[in-house]
Structure 1
Amino acid sequence: MQCHLCEDFSVPTRQLLNRHIGRVHGNSHNFHMTCGFENSSGTRCETTFNSFHTYKRHLRKKHRGEVSECEQEEQRPTGSSANSAKDLYNDSPEEPCHSPESAPLDCPPQSLANNKSNLEREAALWILKLKEGKRLTQSAVDEILSDVTELCTNVVCQLGDDLRAILNVNSDDIPGLNALVNETSPYTSPFANIKTQYLQLSYYRKYLNFVDPIQITLGTSYIWTGEGQSRRLTEVDQKFTYVPILEVLKNMLNCPAVYEEIMRGHQRSDELLEDFCDSPKFKCHPLFGSHHNALQIFLYFDECELCNPLGSFRKKHKIGNIHPMYRSTLEAIQLLCLVEAPLLEVYGHDKILEPAIKDIKQLEKGCTFSTCEGLVKFYGTIATVSGDNPGSSAVAGFKESSAAYRLCRQCLTTKPEIQLKFHEKYFDLRTPLSHQHHCQLLKDNPTIRDHYSKTFGVNRESILNSLMYFDVADECVVPDVMHDVLEGYLPYTTKLMLNYFISTRLFSNDDINSLMSNFDYGFEAISIPSPLTSTILQSADKTRLGQTASQMWTLGRMLPVMIGHFIPQDDEHWVHYIQLLDIVDLIFAPTVNPETPGYLEVLIEENLEQFVTLYRESVLPKMHFLIHVPRLLASW
Structure 2
Amino acid sequence: MYFKFVKPIEICLPTGGKAYYVPICEVLLNLFQKNDLYNCIKQEKHYISQFQGQDILYHYRNAEIGRQHPTLKKKDNCLLLQLYSDDLGVVNPLMGRSSTHKLTTFYFSIDDLPARHKSSLNTVHLLLLCTRNDFEDQRNRRILFRKLSEDLKHLENNGLILPGDVNPTYFTISTLCADNLAGMLRFNTLTHELGGFTCAFNYGYCCRYCLTNHRDMKTRYNETQVLIRTTTSHDLQVKQVRNVPGDKKIYGINEESILSILPSFHPVISLPPDIMHDILEGVMPKLTACLLHTIVSSRLCSAAQLCRRINKYTYGVNDKQNRPPPFKEKDILDERVP
Deviations 1:517-559 (CA, angstroms, capped at 9, x unpaired): 44466698566554322343355xx7x512xxxxxxxxxxxxx
Shift of the alpha carbon at 1:500? Answer: 3.0
State which of 60, 72, 94 in structure 2 corresponds to 1:276. Answer: 60
Offset of residue 356 of structure 1: 0.8
Q: State the 1:488 CA deviation.
A: 1.7
Q: Distance in 2 between matches of 1:436 and 1:280?
A: 20
2:123 is matched with 332
Secondary structure of 1:368 counterpart? coil
1:488 aligns with 2:282: yes
Over aligned residues, Cα RMSD in angstroms?
Answer: 2.5
Q: Equivalent of 1:388, from 179, 201, 220?
A: 179
Residue 169 of structure 2, aligned match among 365, 368, 378: 378
Q: Once the 2 structures are TM-superposed, how far is the Cα of residue 293 of structure 1 from its aligned partner?
A: 3.5
The answer to whether the 8 Å contact 1:275/1:324 transfers is: no
| Alpha-carbon spacing, 1:268–1:514, altered in 2? closer, same or farther (3 Å) | farther
Sort the Cα spacing of 1:261 and 1:376 in 2 relative to 1 into closer, same or farther, 3 A.
Answer: farther
Q: Matches of 2:127 and 2:141 in 1, distance apart?
A: 13
In the comparison of the two structures, how many residue pairs are matched?
A: 316
Residue type at the aligned position of 2:215: P
Identify the residue that residue 408 of structure 1 maps to in structure 2. 207
Q: In structure 2, what is the equivalent of residue 364 of structure 1?
A: 156
Per the TM alignment, residue 296 of structure 1 is displaced from its structure 2 partner at its CA by 0.9
Residues 522, 216 of structure 1: CA spacing in aligned structure 2 closer, same or farther, 3 A cutoff? Answer: closer
Deviations 1:393-447 (A, max 9, x none): 11111112323522111111111111111222211111111111111012223xx
| Counterpart Cα distance in 2 of 1:441 and 1:361 | 28
| Runs (5+) with no aligned partner, structure 1 | 1-29, 31-124, 126-207, 221-236, 547-636
| Structure 2 match to 1:219 | 14
The verdict on how the C-alpha distance between 1:262 and 1:291 changes in structure 2, with shifts beyond 3 A counting, is farther
Per the alignment, residue 421 of structure 1 pairs with: 220
Counterpart for residue 48 of structure 2? 267
Distance 2:319 2:179 in 1: 27
Cα distance in structure 1, aligned partners of 2:64 and 2:177: 20
Q: What is the distance in 2 between the residues matched to 1:404 and 1:243?
A: 39
- Are the counterparts in 1 of residues 11 and 144 from structure 2 also a CA contact under 8 Å? no
Contact 2:82 2:109 in 1 (8 A): yes
Distance in 2 between residues matched to 1:211 and 1:404, nearest whole Å: 45
Determine if contact 2:198/2:252 at 8 Å carries over to the other structure: yes
Which of 389, 398, 403 is the matching residue for 2:197? 398
Distance change (3 Å), C-alpha of 1:440 and 1:219? same
Q: Give the number of the structure whose residues are more often helix, by fraction.
A: 1
What CA deviation, in whole Å up to 9, does each residue of 1:324-356 have, x standing for no partner? 211221111111111111111223543322211
After superposition, residues 4-83 of structure 1 pair within 5 angstroms as none
Cα drift, residue 263 of structure 1: 3.2
Give the distance between the partners of 2:330 and 2:171, measured in 1 at CA: 50
Q: Tell me the equivalent position of 1:133.
A: none
Q: Which residue of 2 aligns with 1:351?
A: 143
Instruction: Look up the SS of the partner of 1:267 in the other structure.
Output: helix
Asked whether the 8 Å contact 2:60–2:174 carries over to 1, the reply is no
Distance in 2 of aligned mates of 1:378 and 1:325: 23
1:466 — aligned with what? 261
Separation of aligned partners in 2, 1:320 and 1:422:
30
- Structure 2: 5+ residue stretches without partners: 93-98, 181-188
Task: State the TM-score, normalizing by the size of structure 1.
Answer: 0.46
Is 513-522 or 420-429 further displaced after alignment? 513-522
Q: Check conservation: 1:214, 1:244, Cα contact below 8 A.
A: yes
Look up the equivalent residue of 2:260 and give its one-letter code.
N
Cα deviation for residue 468 of structure 1 reads: 4.3
Q: Which residue of 2 aligns with 1:210?
A: 5
Residues in 2 aligned to 1:395 and 1:286: alpha-carbon distance in whole angstroms: 21
Cα gap change, 1:280 to 1:531, in 2 (>3 Å): same
| Deviation sequence 1:113-145 (CA, Å, 0-9, x none) | xxxxxxxxxxxx9xxxxxxxxxxxxxxxxxxxx
1:439–1:280 CA distance, 2 compared to 1 (3 A): closer
Q: Per-residue CA shift, 1:273-318, capped at 9, x if unaligned?
A: 3221333433343322443431211111101111283211111111
Query: Larger RCO: Structure 1 or Structure 2 (Cα < 8 Å, ≥ 6 residues apart)?
Result: 2
- Residue type at the aligned position of 2:50: S
Q: 1:280 to 1:434 in 2, by over 3 A?
A: closer
Which residue is 1:298 aligned to? Answer: 82
* Contact kept? 1:296, 1:382, Cα under 8 Å: yes
SS state at 2:155 partner: helix
Residue 107 of structure 2 corresponds to residue 323 of structure 1: no
- Residue identity opposite 2:28 in structure 1: L
- 2:96 aligned residue: none
CA contact (8 A) 2:152 2:263 kept: no
User: Matched residue of 1:419: which SS?
Assistant: coil
Q: Do residues 287 (structure 1) and 71 (structure 2) align? A: yes
Range that drifts further, 385-394 or 530-539: 530-539
Letter of the structure 2 residue corresponding to residue 343 of structure 1: D
The aligned counterpart of 2:32 is: 253
User: What's the TM-score, normalizing by structure 2?
Assistant: 0.84
Residue in 1 that maps onto 2:328: 533
Higher radius of gyration, 1 or 2: 1
Amino acid at match of 1:396: G
Q: Percent identity?
A: 27
Kept after mapping to 2: 8 A contact 1:509/1:532: no
